Structure 1
């Protein structure tokens, strides 16, 4: 009998040890599932079933069990009943994970939005685009190029090609339409960067100035510039690993104020010499943007009035953290057509309907390779300067996000190409090569 008791005690001890060791991971798993479920259901208008079967169906997130409370617009996720996380939706601000029980009942400021232009065709308005046929385009070739993206392996949700302001090809997976909002993940970083370009053009900021971070003023980090942050070349430590409990997973799923975590980091290298991809840096930049305005309401409004609604990306919503900061690293939702408009704005060197939001000089700056990035990164924008895609022009640049969210800009060809996916393994080189071959 004593032997049996000791055996069960040992088993119980091992079980508890395993739980304690993995408990932080359970927190992240439940947090991801709750946040993603709330956003999918209440921002993108998808069903809980669709979300679980598609967006949350990968390991280890599929360990979580999700429920939705439609009355309070919340999602609850539990992992084996051991740990539960709740995310809730706020009008105009999107979904966020609760950290205290009172968070869901608080009042939050929301941005003021403008009404969509429903009298002008795409891209300058939200009416259907005018029919157009280019004799120089092989439409059958173009259509077959899309086939490689829409299979069970690549899991593409939407793709479109815009040539000379006209949509010349467009396709959606089952369950998605031209009105479906899709999370751009790190494509949102390019939105954050663009806002600095707008402020620079307005003469309200100089990205070469030192970063206005009080905590850095009296130590060696005082020489870090906004430019260093935009290029992710500050030299500050940061671990961007979504498969472990890392800096980025703790920031996205455990922090009330996501602008602070990068501030607390020390040097792991030197400014302008150590390129290191960091979502924490982008959210720090969101915090720096917040400093440019006298009130929080002005900060909330600026993202939309100066850029998003200005160019008719009316479907877009940038989610905020609990402290009211836009999560500029990761949480931008919009239809594929609206994501394409941001690409078109860059293709037009910052001019939209005759108004210059930012300059050609800003485009050149944002697409200049960061030192030590192998020609792969600019100012929160990805590049092909290092010829990563050998059959694609070197001056192509693009916005890029987790799981294969991409907007490609090819300035010489007057092309904007959008691919929104659930996997990142699409052959980008072959896909864009195929698009180019169809346009003579």
Structure 2
């Protein structure tokens, strides 16, 4: 009897301890579930049941129960009735997680859009595609690459699009997705942020050697020495923990903070600039905050990416979500159709020239594709690289736009290729190597 009581006591203590240490995680679980549900329903116009069964069907997140309010354009999630979180959608701004400070914020200021209707086909317009057969493309071999990308359901590929010589030579979607479906790019959005800085540099509005912390004089660290270049290359030396499987800097920022631009700003310096390379979503959102400081008004800040980049190259489907303070969350929350993501890749393949209009300097594409010190040739300036042959069968001039769950835009200048793959599961380097190898093999 005593042993039974002792055993029950140990179990009870274990349950209490588990609840105590894991209770804060519920905030992140219900936060992710409600935010992802609200964004996907109201931005991508997808079915809540499908989102529950697929997008939110991942470890821990699938513990959350989520309900959508169509009238209030919101989604609320909880974990066994605990820690409810609500995400509210606002047209033009996306969905935002509410908190105790929600009522203080003004959502009346939204970006102006500068979309122009045209009669041109992809990529320079949205009136269909060019269907000319290219003589140097072996379409039967290309079809094999597509079949292999979609035949294994475990790969969870959702769309695949291949552009050669500015023309779509292959395009496929799984059931329920189409050329009009907006897809969350996750960290692909980081490259949008980097490009905005490239545009400002081309317009002589900012320099990559600009030191945003120059006025924060300190004898204890090198923070005043940090430049935009260091931040774009993730080598600032500022402390950051990019761990999505626990309560960390990045999860607290994305699911708890009202102003996400501050999470990295006030971190301590743990190394001199360039001494270490440390991938950080906090750095990107810090850059979003620094970007906002370059404009006189909030409206100008919200308008700039759409006027000077997104709508200028016809990425009319794109939406950049904001936080409670009205800052673009450029680390993670950019939505666009697969074709529009491809347009972004083509802008870089064409070195900033868009049908005769220059968006950024020709040298900017070389800048973002230059390897960053201590990244082992895998990172440039908010772009990923193949400089040291991570994809062993692919040209080393490949650089890419990468996001969670295997979102990719591959840019291969030597092959005049842009490949967009979206999905719901991260692929291995070997899987991407095989996909790209098969696509390249179809081009003579």
TM bucket normalised to smaller = over 0.9
Partner of 1:91: 91
Aligned to 1:148: 148
CA contact (8 A) 2:214 2:225 kept: no
CA deviations 1:299-323 (Å, max 9, x no partner) are 0000100100110000000000000
Q: Output the TM-score relative to the length of structure 1.
A: 0.96
**Counterpart in the other structure of 1:190:** 191
Residue matched to 1:429: 433
Partner residue of 1:307 out of 306, 309, 333: 309
1:69-84 matched pairs, under 5 angstroms = 69-84=69-84
* Kept in 2: contact 1:161–1:170 (CA 8 A): yes
Q: How far apart are 1:21 and its partner, in Å?
A: 1.2
1:268 to 248, 267, 270: 270
What is the SS of the residue equivalent to 1:26? helix
Moved beyond 4 Å, runs of 4+: 1-14, 212-219
Q: Say yes or no: does 1:439 pair with 2:443.
A: yes
Residues 176 and 203 of structure 1: is their aligned pair in 2 closer, same or farther, counting only changes over 3 Å? same
Assess, with a 3 A threshold, how the Cα gap between structure 1 residues 248 and 105 changes in structure 2: closer, same or farther: closer
Whether 2:21 is the aligned partner of 1:16: answer no
Measured in 2, the distance between the counterparts of 1:200 and 1:215 equals: 24
1:172 correspondence with 2:176:
no
SS at match of 2:414: coil
2:286 is matched with 284
Partner SS state of residue 39, structure 1: helix
Deviation of residue 107 (structure 1)? 3.3
Matches within 5 A, 1:349-388: 349-388=351-390
Q: Distance in 2 between matches of 1:192 and 1:115?
A: 20
Secondary structure of 1:261 counterpart: helix
Q: Deviations over 1:231-282 (max 9, x none)?
A: 0000111111111111111100000000001011112222112100000000
Query: What do residues 54-73 of structure 1 show as CA deviations (whole Å, max 9, x unaligned)?
Result: 10011110000000011110
Paired residue secondary structure (2:312): coil
2:102 and 2:324 in contact (8 A); partners too: no
d(CA) in 1 for partners of 2:363, 2:101: 48
Counterpart mapping for 1:122-141 below 5 A: 122-141=122-141
* Contact 2:90–2:107 (Cα < 8 Å) also in 1: no
SS in 1 for 2:160: strand
Query: Distance in 2 between the 1:64 and 1:329 partners?
Result: 24
**Residues 116 and 125, structure 1, Cα contact 8 Å, conserved in 2:** no
Partner secondary structure for residue 376 of structure 1:
coil
Give, in whole Å, the separation in 2 of the partners of 1:202 and 1:237. Answer: 32
Matched-pair contact (CA < 8 Å) for 1:235–1:274:
yes
Matched, 1:251 2:238: no
SS in 2 for 1:239: coil
SS of 1:325's equivalent? coil
**Secondary structure, in 3 states, of the residue corresponding to 2:236?**
coil
The residue number in structure 1 matching 2:45 is 45
* Residue 193 of structure 1: how far off its partner (Å): 0.2
Structure 2 residue matching 1:29: 3-state secondary structure: helix
3-state DSSP of counterpart to 2:87: strand
Aligned counterpart in structure 1 of residue 330 of structure 2, from 313, 328, 335? 328
Change (3 A) 1:27 1:213: farther
| 1:400 counterpart residue number | 402
Q: Against the structure 1 CA distance between its residues 56 and 390, is the aligned structure 2 distance closer, same or farther, given a 3 Å change threshold?
A: same
Q: Tell me how large the CA RMSD over aligned residues is.
A: 2.0
Cα gap change, 1:5 to 1:434, in 2 (>3 Å): closer
Q: Is the 8 A contact 2:189 2:333 kept in 1?
A: yes
Distance 2:67 2:88 in 1: 12
Give the distance between the partners of 2:199 and 2:105, measured in 1 at CA. 35
What is the number of equivalent residue pairs in this alignment? 440
Equivalent in the alignment of 2:26 = 26
Partners of 1:319 and 1:9 in 2: CA distance: 48
Structure 1 unaligned runs (5+)? none
Looking at structure 2, the residues matched to 215 and 66 of structure 1 have their Cα atoms a distance apart, in angstroms, of 44
Q: Indicate if the aligned counterparts of 1:98 and 1:104 stay in contact, CA closer than 8 A.
A: no
SS of 2:405 mapped into structure 1:
coil
Deviation (angstroms), 1:148: 2.2
Q: Distance in 1 between matches of 2:104 and 2:269?
A: 37
> Which SS does the other structure have where 2:201 is aligned?
helix
Q: Is the 8 A contact 2:155 2:425 kept in 1?
A: yes
Q: Give the 3 Å change call, closer, same or farther, for CA 165–268 of structure 1 in structure 2.
A: same
Q: Does 309-318 or 148-157 show the bigger shift?
A: 148-157
**CA distance in structure 2 between the aligned counterparts of 1:64 and 1:359, rounded to whole angstroms:** 47
Q: Given the alignment of the two structures, is residue 163 of structure 1 paired with residue 164 of structure 2, yes or no?
A: yes
Moved more, 144-153 or 366-375: 144-153
Q: CA contact under 8 A between 1:408 and 1:417: conserved in structure 2?
A: yes
